[in-house]
Copies of this chain bind each other. A is one copy, B any other.
Amino acid sequence: MAVARTLMKREPPARKRRGHGAVLISDVARLAGVSAITVSRTLNKPQIVADSTRRAVQAAVDRLGYIPNRLAGNLASTQTRTIGVVIPSLFSNIFADSVRGMTDVLGSEGYQVLLGVTDDSLDMETKHVVSLLGQRVAGVILTGGMHQRRTRELLKNSGVPVVETNVMVRSSIDMVVGYSNEAAAYAMTRHLARCGYRRIGFVTTPMERNDRAQARRAGWLRAVREFGLVERAGLFREATLTVSHGARAFGEMLASDPDVEAVFLAHDMLASGAMFEARRRGLRVPDDVGIAGFDDLDIAQEFVPALTTVRTPRYAIGSTAARMVLQRIRGEATGSACVDMGFEIVQRDSTRRPPA
Protein backbone atom coordinates (compact mmCIF):
# COMPACT_ATOMS: atom_id res chain seq x y z
CA MET A 1 0.00 0.00 0.00
CA ALA A 2 2.79 2.37 0.84
CA VAL A 3 4.21 1.62 -2.58
CA ALA A 4 0.94 2.25 -4.32
CA ARG A 5 0.55 5.53 -2.54
CA THR A 6 4.02 6.60 -3.52
CA LEU A 7 3.25 5.89 -7.12
CA MET A 8 0.09 7.94 -7.22
CA LYS A 9 1.08 11.48 -7.80
CA ARG A 10 -1.64 13.87 -6.69
CA GLU A 11 -3.22 11.72 -4.04
CA PRO A 12 -3.59 13.61 -0.75
CA PRO A 13 -1.88 11.91 2.16
CA ALA A 14 -4.06 9.70 4.30
CA ARG A 15 -2.91 11.57 7.35
CA LYS A 16 -5.57 12.71 9.70
CA ARG A 17 -6.51 16.37 9.57
CA ARG A 18 -6.55 18.28 12.79
CA GLY A 19 -8.74 21.24 11.92
CA HIS A 20 -12.00 21.96 13.67
CA GLY A 21 -14.18 22.19 10.62
CA ALA A 22 -14.52 25.91 11.14
CA VAL A 23 -14.97 28.25 8.20
CA LEU A 24 -11.59 29.12 6.70
CA ILE A 25 -10.39 32.01 4.65
CA SER A 26 -10.10 29.63 1.71
CA ASP A 27 -13.81 28.83 1.97
CA VAL A 28 -14.63 32.51 1.77
CA ALA A 29 -12.23 32.94 -1.13
CA ARG A 30 -13.81 30.12 -3.07
CA LEU A 31 -17.33 31.43 -2.56
CA ALA A 32 -16.31 34.96 -3.54
CA GLY A 33 -14.33 33.72 -6.52
CA VAL A 34 -11.07 35.31 -5.42
CA SER A 35 -7.86 34.18 -3.75
CA ALA A 36 -7.33 33.89 -0.03
CA ILE A 37 -4.99 36.85 0.05
CA THR A 38 -7.68 39.05 -1.44
CA VAL A 39 -10.03 38.07 1.36
CA SER A 40 -7.29 38.88 3.82
CA ARG A 41 -6.81 42.29 2.21
CA THR A 42 -10.52 43.00 2.16
CA LEU A 43 -10.66 42.42 5.87
CA ASN A 44 -7.43 44.14 6.87
CA LYS A 45 -6.79 46.83 4.27
CA PRO A 46 -10.12 47.34 2.49
CA GLN A 47 -8.94 50.52 0.78
CA ILE A 48 -6.52 48.67 -1.49
CA VAL A 49 -9.20 46.35 -2.85
CA ALA A 50 -11.52 47.26 -5.72
CA ASP A 51 -15.07 48.15 -4.69
CA SER A 52 -16.73 45.31 -6.56
CA THR A 53 -14.30 42.76 -5.12
CA ARG A 54 -14.76 44.09 -1.65
CA ARG A 55 -18.50 43.75 -1.84
CA ALA A 56 -18.29 40.21 -3.15
CA VAL A 57 -15.90 39.20 -0.41
CA GLN A 58 -17.93 40.90 2.27
CA ALA A 59 -21.03 39.06 1.10
CA ALA A 60 -19.21 35.74 1.29
CA VAL A 61 -17.89 36.55 4.75
CA ASP A 62 -21.35 37.39 5.99
CA ARG A 63 -22.95 34.38 4.40
CA LEU A 64 -20.49 31.93 5.88
CA GLY A 65 -20.18 33.69 9.21
CA TYR A 66 -16.43 33.73 8.81
CA ILE A 67 -14.43 34.76 11.87
CA PRO A 68 -10.73 35.06 11.07
CA ASN A 69 -8.43 33.00 13.24
CA ARG A 70 -6.35 35.61 15.02
CA LEU A 71 -3.87 33.04 16.18
CA ALA A 72 -2.95 32.30 12.60
CA GLY A 73 -3.12 35.92 11.53
CA ASN A 74 -0.95 37.16 14.34
CA LEU A 75 1.51 34.36 13.83
CA ALA A 76 1.79 35.06 10.13
CA SER A 77 2.25 38.78 10.61
CA THR A 78 4.43 38.30 13.71
CA GLN A 79 2.52 41.02 15.47
CA THR A 80 -0.54 41.47 17.60
CA ARG A 81 -2.73 44.42 18.42
CA THR A 82 -2.90 43.49 22.07
CA ILE A 83 -1.50 45.38 25.04
CA GLY A 84 -0.93 43.52 28.28
CA VAL A 85 -2.06 45.35 31.42
CA VAL A 86 -1.17 44.14 34.88
CA ILE A 87 -3.01 45.57 37.89
CA PRO A 88 -2.95 44.58 41.56
CA SER A 89 -6.65 44.25 42.14
CA LEU A 90 -10.11 44.34 40.67
CA PHE A 91 -11.52 45.43 44.01
CA SER A 92 -10.90 49.07 43.61
CA ASN A 93 -12.21 51.68 41.27
CA ILE A 94 -8.75 53.15 41.15
CA PHE A 95 -7.59 50.64 38.63
CA ALA A 96 -10.93 50.44 36.93
CA ASP A 97 -10.59 54.13 36.09
CA SER A 98 -7.11 53.66 34.69
CA VAL A 99 -8.11 50.61 32.71
CA ARG A 100 -10.97 52.55 31.26
CA GLY A 101 -8.54 55.23 30.16
CA MET A 102 -6.46 52.59 28.45
CA THR A 103 -9.30 50.81 26.69
CA ASP A 104 -10.73 54.10 25.50
CA VAL A 105 -7.47 55.04 23.81
CA LEU A 106 -6.47 51.60 22.64
CA GLY A 107 -9.91 50.53 21.48
CA SER A 108 -10.21 53.48 19.14
CA GLU A 109 -6.92 52.46 17.52
CA GLY A 110 -7.90 48.85 17.06
CA TYR A 111 -5.90 47.61 19.99
CA GLN A 112 -7.12 45.37 22.74
CA VAL A 113 -6.32 45.05 26.42
CA LEU A 114 -5.30 41.77 27.99
CA LEU A 115 -5.74 42.13 31.73
CA GLY A 116 -3.82 40.36 34.46
CA VAL A 117 -4.55 40.72 38.19
CA THR A 118 -1.77 40.08 40.68
CA ASP A 119 -3.44 40.50 44.09
CA ASP A 120 -0.26 42.33 45.08
CA SER A 121 1.90 39.26 44.51
CA LEU A 122 5.14 39.77 42.63
CA ASP A 123 5.21 36.11 41.70
CA MET A 124 1.85 36.51 40.07
CA GLU A 125 3.12 39.58 38.31
CA THR A 126 6.01 37.64 36.84
CA LYS A 127 3.69 34.87 35.75
CA HIS A 128 1.45 37.34 34.02
CA VAL A 129 4.37 38.99 32.27
CA VAL A 130 5.63 35.64 31.02
CA SER A 131 2.17 34.79 29.79
CA LEU A 132 1.78 38.15 28.08
CA LEU A 133 5.13 37.87 26.35
CA GLY A 134 4.22 34.32 25.34
CA GLN A 135 1.22 35.78 23.60
CA ARG A 136 3.50 38.31 21.94
CA VAL A 137 1.68 41.40 23.16
CA ALA A 138 2.70 44.60 21.46
CA GLY A 139 3.17 46.44 24.76
CA VAL A 140 2.93 46.07 28.50
CA ILE A 141 1.54 48.41 31.16
CA LEU A 142 2.41 47.62 34.76
CA THR A 143 1.29 49.08 38.06
CA GLY A 144 4.01 50.34 40.36
CA GLY A 145 7.74 50.24 40.01
CA MET A 146 8.50 47.26 42.22
CA HIS A 147 9.11 44.09 40.28
CA GLN A 148 11.09 40.92 40.51
CA ARG A 149 14.46 41.01 38.79
CA ARG A 150 13.21 38.35 36.39
CA THR A 151 10.26 40.51 35.36
CA ARG A 152 12.53 43.45 34.62
CA GLU A 153 14.93 41.33 32.60
CA LEU A 154 12.23 39.57 30.63
CA LEU A 155 10.66 42.86 29.70
CA LYS A 156 13.92 44.58 28.83
CA ASN A 157 15.09 41.69 26.69
CA SER A 158 11.75 41.42 24.95
CA GLY A 159 12.13 44.81 23.35
CA VAL A 160 8.45 45.46 23.96
CA PRO A 161 7.39 48.97 25.06
CA VAL A 162 6.68 49.03 28.79
CA VAL A 163 5.00 51.64 30.95
CA GLU A 164 5.05 51.59 34.74
CA THR A 165 2.12 53.53 36.17
CA ASN A 166 0.97 55.21 39.37
CA VAL A 167 4.50 55.89 40.55
CA MET A 168 7.54 57.97 39.92
CA VAL A 169 10.53 55.65 39.91
CA ARG A 170 14.18 56.27 39.64
CA SER A 171 15.26 53.28 37.59
CA SER A 172 12.41 52.48 35.30
CA ILE A 173 12.20 49.53 32.93
CA ASP A 174 11.22 51.80 30.09
CA MET A 175 8.59 54.53 30.45
CA VAL A 176 6.70 55.85 33.49
CA VAL A 177 3.41 57.70 34.01
CA GLY A 178 2.07 58.57 37.40
CA TYR A 179 2.54 60.85 40.34
CA SER A 180 4.67 60.88 43.43
CA ASN A 181 2.95 58.95 46.17
CA GLU A 182 5.51 60.27 48.59
CA ALA A 183 4.81 63.85 47.66
CA ALA A 184 1.06 63.31 47.78
CA ALA A 185 1.15 61.80 51.26
CA TYR A 186 3.53 64.50 52.40
CA ALA A 187 1.24 67.19 51.04
CA MET A 188 -1.80 65.77 52.80
CA THR A 189 0.03 65.40 56.08
CA ARG A 190 1.30 68.94 55.78
CA HIS A 191 -2.25 70.06 55.14
CA LEU A 192 -3.40 68.30 58.29
CA ALA A 193 -0.59 69.91 60.25
CA ARG A 194 -1.66 73.31 59.00
CA CYS A 195 -5.19 72.54 60.13
CA GLY A 196 -3.75 72.34 63.59
CA TYR A 197 -3.60 68.59 64.09
CA ARG A 198 -0.46 67.40 65.89
CA ARG A 199 -1.06 63.73 66.54
CA ILE A 200 -1.69 62.41 63.08
CA GLY A 201 -2.11 58.70 62.55
CA PHE A 202 -1.53 56.95 59.24
CA VAL A 203 -3.15 53.80 57.88
CA THR A 204 -2.11 52.18 54.65
CA THR A 205 -2.68 48.97 52.78
CA PRO A 206 -0.01 46.34 53.41
CA MET A 207 3.34 47.68 52.26
CA GLU A 208 5.42 44.59 51.81
CA ARG A 209 4.99 44.19 48.07
CA ASN A 210 3.55 47.58 47.33
CA ASP A 211 5.86 50.45 46.59
CA ARG A 212 2.99 52.93 46.34
CA ALA A 213 2.04 52.18 49.94
CA GLN A 214 5.66 52.41 51.03
CA ALA A 215 6.05 55.77 49.36
CA ARG A 216 2.90 57.09 50.99
CA ARG A 217 4.11 56.07 54.40
CA ALA A 218 7.47 57.70 53.69
CA GLY A 219 5.73 60.93 52.74
CA TRP A 220 3.67 60.91 55.92
CA LEU A 221 6.75 60.24 58.02
CA ARG A 222 8.77 62.97 56.38
CA ALA A 223 6.02 65.49 57.11
CA VAL A 224 5.66 64.25 60.67
CA ARG A 225 9.35 64.90 61.27
CA GLU A 226 9.60 68.06 59.29
CA PHE A 227 6.72 69.67 61.13
CA GLY A 228 7.68 68.26 64.50
CA LEU A 229 4.46 66.27 64.84
CA VAL A 230 3.98 63.51 67.35
CA GLU A 231 5.76 60.33 66.23
CA ARG A 232 4.64 57.15 67.89
CA ALA A 233 4.47 53.52 66.79
CA GLY A 234 0.76 53.22 67.52
CA LEU A 235 -0.01 55.95 65.05
CA PHE A 236 0.86 53.73 62.14
CA ARG A 237 -1.26 50.79 60.95
CA GLU A 238 -1.60 48.50 57.99
CA ALA A 239 -5.02 47.28 56.86
CA THR A 240 -6.13 45.32 53.84
CA LEU A 241 -8.28 47.24 51.43
CA THR A 242 -11.81 46.93 52.76
CA VAL A 243 -14.10 49.31 54.57
CA SER A 244 -14.19 46.96 57.55
CA HIS A 245 -10.45 46.80 57.90
CA GLY A 246 -10.24 50.57 57.72
CA ALA A 247 -12.72 50.75 60.57
CA ARG A 248 -10.87 48.18 62.60
CA ALA A 249 -7.47 49.81 62.09
CA PHE A 250 -8.82 53.15 63.26
CA GLY A 251 -10.45 51.47 66.24
CA GLU A 252 -7.18 49.87 67.23
CA MET A 253 -5.37 53.13 66.85
CA LEU A 254 -7.87 54.80 69.17
CA ALA A 255 -7.36 52.01 71.66
CA SER A 256 -3.60 52.40 71.75
CA ASP A 257 -3.49 56.17 71.34
CA PRO A 258 -6.80 57.65 72.45
CA ASP A 259 -5.49 61.15 72.03
CA VAL A 260 -5.00 60.82 68.26
CA GLU A 261 -6.23 64.03 66.64
CA ALA A 262 -6.44 63.03 63.01
CA VAL A 263 -6.03 59.96 60.82
CA PHE A 264 -4.88 59.90 57.26
CA LEU A 265 -5.87 56.68 55.51
CA ALA A 266 -4.16 55.91 52.24
CA HIS A 267 -7.33 54.91 50.44
CA ASP A 268 -10.86 56.28 50.50
CA MET A 269 -12.32 52.86 51.30
CA LEU A 270 -10.17 52.67 54.42
CA ALA A 271 -11.15 56.24 55.24
CA SER A 272 -14.80 55.29 54.84
CA GLY A 273 -14.32 52.65 57.49
CA ALA A 274 -12.77 55.22 59.80
CA MET A 275 -15.68 57.60 59.23
CA PHE A 276 -18.13 54.88 60.21
CA GLU A 277 -16.07 53.89 63.23
CA ALA A 278 -15.95 57.49 64.42
CA ARG A 279 -19.69 57.69 64.10
CA ARG A 280 -20.18 54.48 66.03
CA ARG A 281 -18.01 55.80 68.83
CA GLY A 282 -19.77 59.12 68.88
CA LEU A 283 -16.65 61.02 67.82
CA ARG A 284 -17.43 64.23 65.99
CA VAL A 285 -15.60 64.73 62.70
CA PRO A 286 -13.68 67.00 62.25
CA ASP A 287 -13.85 68.44 65.79
CA ASP A 288 -12.93 65.41 67.85
CA VAL A 289 -10.94 63.77 65.10
CA GLY A 290 -9.98 64.72 61.56
CA ILE A 291 -10.14 62.10 58.83
CA ALA A 292 -8.52 62.20 55.40
CA GLY A 293 -8.51 59.72 52.58
CA PHE A 294 -6.75 59.14 49.29
CA ASP A 295 -8.00 58.92 45.68
CA ASP A 296 -11.17 60.95 45.75
CA LEU A 297 -13.57 58.21 44.88
CA ASP A 298 -17.14 59.18 44.19
CA ILE A 299 -18.15 58.27 47.74
CA ALA A 300 -15.79 60.80 49.34
CA GLN A 301 -17.94 63.81 48.48
CA GLU A 302 -21.11 62.09 49.67
CA PHE A 303 -20.01 61.39 53.19
CA VAL A 304 -21.43 63.47 56.00
CA PRO A 305 -19.20 65.32 56.62
CA ALA A 306 -17.61 65.10 53.17
CA LEU A 307 -14.22 63.50 53.12
CA THR A 308 -10.99 65.43 52.62
CA THR A 309 -8.83 63.44 50.23
CA VAL A 310 -6.12 63.42 47.59
CA ARG A 311 -7.36 63.49 44.03
CA THR A 312 -5.32 61.38 41.64
CA PRO A 313 -5.56 61.51 37.83
CA ARG A 314 -6.44 57.88 37.35
CA TYR A 315 -8.18 58.04 34.01
CA ALA A 316 -5.50 60.32 32.59
CA ILE A 317 -2.77 57.98 33.78
CA GLY A 318 -4.40 55.13 31.90
CA SER A 319 -5.01 57.05 28.71
CA THR A 320 -1.54 58.58 28.77
CA ALA A 321 0.13 55.23 29.35
CA ALA A 322 -1.81 53.81 26.42
CA ARG A 323 -0.81 56.69 24.19
CA MET A 324 2.84 56.32 25.10
CA VAL A 325 2.80 52.64 24.27
CA LEU A 326 1.14 53.30 20.93
CA GLN A 327 3.66 56.00 20.03
CA ARG A 328 6.49 53.67 20.79
CA ILE A 329 4.95 50.86 18.76
CA ARG A 330 4.64 53.19 15.81
CA GLY A 331 8.17 54.38 16.21
CA GLU A 332 6.96 57.93 16.82
CA ALA A 333 8.71 58.12 20.14
CA THR A 334 11.99 56.82 21.39
CA GLY A 335 13.95 57.07 24.58
CA SER A 336 12.50 56.71 28.00
CA ALA A 337 9.88 59.09 29.26
CA CYS A 338 8.72 59.85 32.77
CA VAL A 339 5.49 61.79 32.98
CA ASP A 340 4.34 63.25 36.29
CA MET A 341 0.58 63.70 36.20
CA GLY A 342 0.46 65.28 39.63
CA PHE A 343 -2.25 65.17 42.27
CA GLU A 344 -4.46 67.57 44.18
CA ILE A 345 -5.44 67.99 47.82
CA VAL A 346 -9.22 68.21 48.06
CA GLN A 347 -10.21 69.98 51.26
CA ARG A 348 -13.65 69.01 52.50
CA ASP A 349 -15.36 68.95 55.87
CA SER A 350 -13.84 65.91 57.50
CA THR A 351 -10.79 67.97 58.45
CA ARG A 352 -10.69 71.35 60.12
CA ARG A 353 -10.13 74.42 58.03
CA PRO A 354 -6.60 75.74 58.11
CA PRO A 355 -6.32 79.25 59.56
CA ALA A 356 -6.61 81.83 56.80
Contact = CB atoms under 8 A, between A and B. Distances in A.
A354 interface: no
Nearest to A103: B117
Contacts of A96: 89-91
A48 interface: no
B298 A242 contact: yes
B71 A299 contact: no
A91 B93 contact: yes
Interface stretch (A25-33, A179-187, A301-309): A301-309
A337 interface: no
B244 A301 contact: yes
Q: How large is the interface on A (under 10, 10 to 19, 20 to 34, 35 or more residues)?
A: 35 or more
A355 interface: no
Contacts of A242: 298
Interface string A263-295: 000000100110010011000000000000000
A301 B242 CA distance: 12
A75 B72 contact: yes
Contacts of A69: 75, 134, 136
Q: By CB atoms of chain B within 10 A, which of A75, A154, A242 has the most?
A: A75
Contacts of A131: 70, 112
A47 interface: no
Nearest to A131: B112
A115 interface: yes
**This protein's copies in its complex:** 2
A167 interface: no
Contacts of A154: 65, 67
Interface string A289-332: 00000000011011110000000000000000000000000000
Contacts of A276: 302-304
A78 B18 contact: yes
A68 B134 contact: yes
Contacts of A334: none
A19 interface: yes
Interface string A55-88: 0000000000101111110110010100000000
Given A19-B78, A67-B133, A90-B93, 9 more contacts: A20-B78, A65-B157, A68-B134, A70-B134, A75-B75, A99-B117, A114-B114, A115-B115, A276-B302
8 contacts: A68-B134, A70-B134, A71-B74, A71-B75, A72-B75, A103-B117, A244-B301, A272-B299
Interface of A: 18-20, 65, 67-72, 74-75, 78, 80, 89-91, 93, 95-96, 99-100, 103, 112, 114-115, 117, 130-131, 133-136, 153-154, 157, 242-244, 247, 269, 272-273, 276, 279-280, 298-299, 301-304
Chain A to chain B: the 8 pairs with minimum beta-carbon distance, closest first: A90-B96, A71-B75, A70-B134, A276-B302, A243-B299, A279-B304, A242-B298, A243-B302
